[in-house]
Structure 1
Amino acid sequence: MKVAFSPKSRQDLLDIGDYIAKDSRANARLFVTGLVDQCHQIGLTPLGYASREDLAHDLRMAALGRYVIFFRVLDGTVRIERILHGARNLPAVFGRENKAEPSNQEPA
């Protein structure tokens, strides 16, 4: 399946690379390349990964080391939504993002 990166996931990759590069630029390049490679591996069997409906609609996740790749399958494309450190408060991150997106639900 085709893999596409959201603007936020692209920024996540840059931020991860910058953080690791403080210690080693070579390690930063290797790690970010590994994350991107893992994203493309997800495209081979995207429905085989864990669902995270508790965080957002149709969201799935894959882990690489301490990082978690969050994605959705939309119209035959795997869309990488975020790449975050597993120690982050994920419900808070996705709660903020879900509140920022327009809701299709009618008010109660």
Structure 2
Amino acid sequence: MKIQFSTKAKADLLHIAVFIAQDNPDRAFTFTDELEQKCLSIGDMPKAFQIVAELVELGVRRRIYQNYSIFFTIESESIFIIRVLNSTVDYATLFEQKSCE
């Protein structure tokens, strides 16, 4: 399936890279590459990842990679990556604020 990233998801990946680069610039690049690859591989088996209970009405699913959560929806012919967030973030509040647009 085709993978599409929201503007916010792209910004999330950039912020993650900038944060990691403060301590380890080389790892920032390799880690965000790994994270992006995990996003892209969702297309292989998107229904293998559960719908988030707090976001069931939006059909949002989550894939976890290390300390990060990849939030996505399954569209008719594609996967839409909504956000990529540290798992400690209060994501339910972010989605209530419609920050996933």
1:95 aligns with 2:96: yes
What is the number of residues matched between the two proteins?
A: 100
User: What are the ranges of 5 or more consecutive residues in structure 1 without an aligned counterpart?
Assistant: 102-108
Distance 1:32 1:43 in 2: 18
User: What are the ranges of 5 or more consecutive residues in structure 2 without an aligned counterpart?
Assistant: none
1:76 aligned partner: 77
1:43 aligned partner: 43
Q: Which runs of 4+ in 1 moved over 2 A?
A: none
Higher helix proportion, which one? Answer: 2
1:18 aligns with 2:11: no
Taking only the aligned residue pairs, the percentage that are identical comes to 30
- Partner deviation per Cα, 1:55-100 (whole Å, 9 max, x = no partner): 25110000000000000011210010000000011111111117x9
The structure number with the bigger radius of gyration is 1
> Over aligned residue pairs, what C-alpha RMSD do you find?
1.6
Higher RCO (CA < 8 A, seq sep 6+): 2
What TM-score do the two structures reach when normalised by structure 2? 0.92
Secondary structure of the 2:54 match is coil
Secondary structure of the 1:43 match is helix
1:104 aligned partner: none
Alpha-carbon shift at residue 54 of structure 1 (Å) = 1.7
